[in-house]
Structure 1
Amino acid sequence: MKFICYPKCTICQKAKKWLDEKGVTYELRDIKENNPSYDELKKWYKHSGLPLKKFFNTSGLLYKSMELKNKLPNMSEDEQLKLLSTDGMLVKRPLLISNDTVLVGFKEKEYEELFK
């Protein structure tokens, strides 16, 4: 299981605490230091079943400064994935990835459901 996060993010800290309290074993990866690649993002996106927009950190400063709210609708899926792979700060976090699941963001109910 991979837990991809930005250590300074409070939501990521909550998710990490939850995983630690439940005794879940995971590989920690700092999204700012080790940005997901295009191929990883494409695989996770396809596997998640979520709309690609859910992978964007829409509340992030970089997203806002790049005015992506207006640009994304005119970009192809491939262009969006390439953009996401340029900077980890564009990616919504945390990402929790196992062989059969991709969770984007931290919703305690989703985590509980996964670890029943």
Structure 2
Amino acid sequence: MTLFGIKNCDTVKKARKWAEANQLTIHFHDFRIDGLSKEQVEAWVAVIGWETLFNKRSTSFRQLSDDDKKDLNETKAIELMLAHPTLIKRPVLSSEGNVLVGFKEAEYKAWFTR
């Protein structure tokens, strides 16, 4: 099980703190430092859809050119997320083909009790 994100992200910090408090061992992958592959992002998109993964409310999105923001589709969104990983909603929890985006305590409890 891997938690993907950026170590300085407040939501990632909450998820990591929750996992630690619940004595769960989760590998952390900082995609700013450790990078992301196109295959990884495509796998997440295949499970949850690019609209769920792509953060249109982020500062990074607001800083994109109007051309980049226009006519978004899956292919373009994946390219943008690979070029600007901070466009990915965080954290991304991934295990055995399952993907959970963001951190809500109730969702994490449900995830770990299945």
Work out the CA distance in 1 between the residues paired with 2:42 and 2:97. Answer: 15
Structure 2: runs of 5+ lacking an equivalent: none
CA RMSD of aligned residues (A): 1.8
Q: CA deviation at 1:67?
A: 5.4
- 1:53-107 CA-to-partner distances (Å, cap 9, x unmatched) read 2212333211111157x825x1331121111111221111101000042011111
Q: Percent identity?
A: 28
Which residue is equivalent to 1:10?
Answer: 10
Work out the CA distance in 2 between the residues paired with 1:110 and 1:3. Answer: 14
Which residue is equivalent to 1:39?
Answer: 39
TM-score (norm 1): 0.85
Q: Counterparts of 1:8-87 in structure 2 under 5 Å?
A: 8-47=8-47, 50-66=48-64, 71=69, 74-87=71-84
Query: Which segments of structure 1 move beyond 3 Å, counting only runs of 4 or more?
Result: none
TM-score (norm 2): 0.86
- 1:21-54 CA-to-partner distances (Å, cap 9, x unmatched) read 111111111122223222111111212xx33122
